[in-house]
A and B are shown apart, each in its own frame.
Chain A
Amino acid sequence: MNKPMDNVAEVQISGRRLAGLVRLIAEHRVAAVIIFLMVFPFLAPYKALAIDVLIYGLFALGFNMVFGYLGVLSFGHAAFFGAGAYATGIAMVHFGVPWMPAIFVGVLMSGLTAAIMGAMAIRTRGIYFAMVTLALAQCVYYIIYHMEEYSGGEDGLTGVSVRTVDFGIATVDMMQDPMGKYYIMLAFTAVAIFLFSRILNSPFGAVLEAIRENENRARACGYNVLLTKWVTFVLSGLFCGLAGALSAIHLSVVPIEYLHYHQSGLAVMMALLGGMGTFFGPFIGAMAFLMLEDAITLMTTHWQLFLGAIFMIFVLFFPRGIWGSFLHWISR
């Protein structure tokens, strides 16, 4: 269903300067994203938005590995975001783990969640996948909801605070210095983006797209489709878990809504808005989504009406998303 759009080869060189520029960016896609994210706080209307773009861009990026590259729609990624956030928070609040190892705990736990959910969900195909992942994620919601001693139940987990981060030469006050906080989070995100790009460029990444294009042919070529799907699901969960872990540290609280399927819906909407199956799409989508949300909430409390309508318009008329439509336009 999805057409590949971001690979260098796919961008037809039309001789136009714009296409050449896009090709250059596509060749150095990791550097391009990181450089953009480094200057982004200076362009964003306020710093908290920049951090949100970082976190949700990473969330949508991880989600896009399954949706855009593997070609199956999951509505369960809230479980990985939430598991990452809760595991990081619980490790810090209840077990006194320092923030950096706590992030690893969070990422590992979301990987574990993805491994269990994936093992069940990959047994189904097609449209079933979205329903099953949604239901399994909602199951995780209820489990965490009932672990009230650790998770805070309905009120969410509070008190996940990182006051200062000491680098030896400099100390960043996480409460007072949003820029410092942003760049610490960017460091994690940058590593994730680098790894993401490496995975896509590896032979494994090629198998992903082969499965998306024709699952039966990939199987006939001797690839283990089920195992590949499962590994992709787990990898995708790890990225989303990191996004969740960073979000727990950013907000100092973990609301239970992080596990609700509407959170999965956010990743879906951002990935589609930006352009599914494209490397830059998720970050562009997250940026567009959050800025739009920001602008609309200034005018009305009923922002969900407009976001829902805009999303429907994109599904109906611009299924390639912002970046995908742009690539399509210049490669005509």
Chain B
Amino acid sequence: MSGITPDLLALQLFTGLALGSVFVLLAVGLSLIFGLLTVVNFAHGAFYMVGAYVGVFLLGLTGNFWISLVFAPILVGTLGLAVERFLVRPLYGRGIDYPLLLTFGLGLVLVELVRILYGLEGVPFDTPPLLRGAVDIGIGYFPLYRLFLIAVTALLVLALWLFIERTSYGLIIRAGARDPEIVRVLGVDISRVWLIVFAIGTGVAGLAGILSAPMRSVIPDMGSTVLVEAFVVTVVGGMGSLIGAVVAGLLVGVVVAFTSLFWPDFSDLSMFVLMAAVLLIRPQGLFGQKGLMG
């Protein structure tokens, strides 16, 4: 372990934050949907994968990464809109497990549709020219794209936080999470709020997909491991908590980055050890409320 310097540790910390950014995006979407609709979106990994493929499609069409980056999440969110309206909505009031089961089936369908369209092989996705290379961040050189990823995540989380905490629509969302019945009685069309929240959640998953496309390979199965990671982060952070999703996402990213530095064989196990520890000490998650678990 002689090669470990403070600079290397700091760089690894940044790698962990970049990795964690993807987890944050996934968990924020998952948590937002659960917090309001009490729906566990099992197709979240599939939406992430669709986001990457829509990105590939738009990039091929326009040749512009930035246009793809803006429109891929919007298109995935629109798909989410349709899914909530026509597939998830009929299941409200039928027990908490049914939307979960439905989205599990939906995930299978989406993955297979992409396989039909793009085949089983991976599709290349180049890092946009502007974001290639590495920059000196004082402690060493760090890939520019990963810095960009951290920045976009930070901006998105900030925007979401402002939207939910500082706008009147956000007030309705917060009220709807606490007591949908009262909100309905007050004359607010709560099902429209649910529709929009589902679209935002899936759109953010799509954004995570296109953002990780240049770093991970774009294959139809890419959402399958990501779903598990998103679940681990959500369980660690606490279901339905935005702060929990952010903190746990970054924490899991950093833990994975450091175990892959010190103990590479166990890098894919470390997040589960973390989850098990959280379950034993604080089963509702770091920021979870007890009430949401029932």
Instruction: Point out residues on A near B: beta carbons under 8 Å.
Output: 1, 73, 120-121, 123-128, 130-132, 134-136, 138-139, 142-143, 146, 260-262, 265, 268-269, 272, 302, 304-305, 307-309, 311-312, 315-316, 319
Contact = CB atoms under 8 A, between A and B. Distances in A.
B105 A142 contact: no
B112 A302 contact: yes
B91 A139 contact: no
B19 interface: no
A319 B98 CA distance: 8
Given A123-B283, A124-B279, A308-B108, A302 B116 contact: yes
B126 interface: no
B112 A124 contact: no
Contact of B91 (A136, A268, A316): A316
A136 B231 contact: no
Nearest to B115: A302
Contact of B102 (A136, A138, A302, A316): A316
17 contacts: A1-B96, A73-B97, A73-B100, A124-B279, A124-B283, A127-B38, A127-B40, A130-B40, A134-B231, A135-B231, A262-B224, A268-B101, A311-B105, A312-B87, A315-B101, A315-B105, A316-B87
A123 B280 contact: yes
Given A127-B96, A135-B228, A139-B269, A305 B235 contact: no
A261 B107 CA distance: 13
B226 to A, nearest CB: 12
A305 B115 CA distance: 10
B234 interface: yes
Given A304-B112, A305-B116, 14 more contacts: A123-B279, A126-B96, A132-B275, A132-B279, A135-B232, A136-B276, A138-B228, A139-B269, A142-B269, A146-B265, A304-B108, A311-B104, A312-B106, A315-B102
Contacts of B101: 73, 268, 272, 311, 315
Interface residues of B, number: 45
A304 B87 contact: no
Contact of B109 (A124, A134, A139, A305): A305
A135 B283 CA distance: 14
Q: Is the interface of B mostly helix, strand, loop or mixed?
A: helix
B82 interface: no
Residue of A123, A131, A304, A307 with highest tally of chain B CB at under 10 A: A131
Nearest to B267: A142
A142 B40 contact: no
Contacts of A123: 279-280, 283
B233 to A, nearest CB: 10
Given A142-B269, A305-B109, A315-B91, A124 B293 contact: yes
Nearest to B268: A142
Contacts of B265: 146
Contacts of B204: none
A127 B279 contact: no
Contacts of A138: 228, 272
The 3 tightest CB contacts between A and B, nearest first, are A308-B108, A1-B95, A139-B272
Contacts of B3: none
Contacts of B97: 1, 73, 127, 130
A309 B109 contact: yes
A305 B113 contact: yes
Contact of B105 (A73, A128, A262, A309): A309
A10 B108 CA distance: 35
Contacts of B109: 304-305, 308-309, 312
A217 to B, nearest CB: 14
A315 B97 CA distance: 10
Given A1-B96, A304-B111, A312-B87, A131 B231 contact: yes
A326 B275 CA distance: 42
B280 A307 contact: no
A272 B294 CA distance: 23
B192 to A, nearest CB: 21
Nearest to B116: A302
Given A126-B96, A142-B269, A305-B112, A131 B235 contact: yes
A73 B103 CA distance: 14
- Which of A73, A127, A139: most chain B Cβ within 10 A? A127
A154 B61 CA distance: 37
B90 interface: yes
A225 B18 CA distance: 42
B28 interface: no
A120 B276 contact: yes
Interface string B196-214: 0000000000000000000
Contact of B94 (A302, A309, A319): A319
A130 B30 CA distance: 14
A125 B280 CA distance: 14
Interface centre among B38, B97, B107, B266 (most CB of A within 10 A): B97
Contacts of A126: 96, 293-294
Nearest to A305: B112
Contacts of B116: 302, 305
B239 interface: yes
Contacts of B239: 127-128
Interface core residue of B87, B104, B111 (most chain A CB under 10 Å): B104
A296 B266 CA distance: 40
Interface string B21-39: 0000000000000100010
Interface string B103-143: 01111110111011000000000000000000000000000
A56 B101 CA distance: 19
Contact of B106 (A1, A265, A269, A308): A308
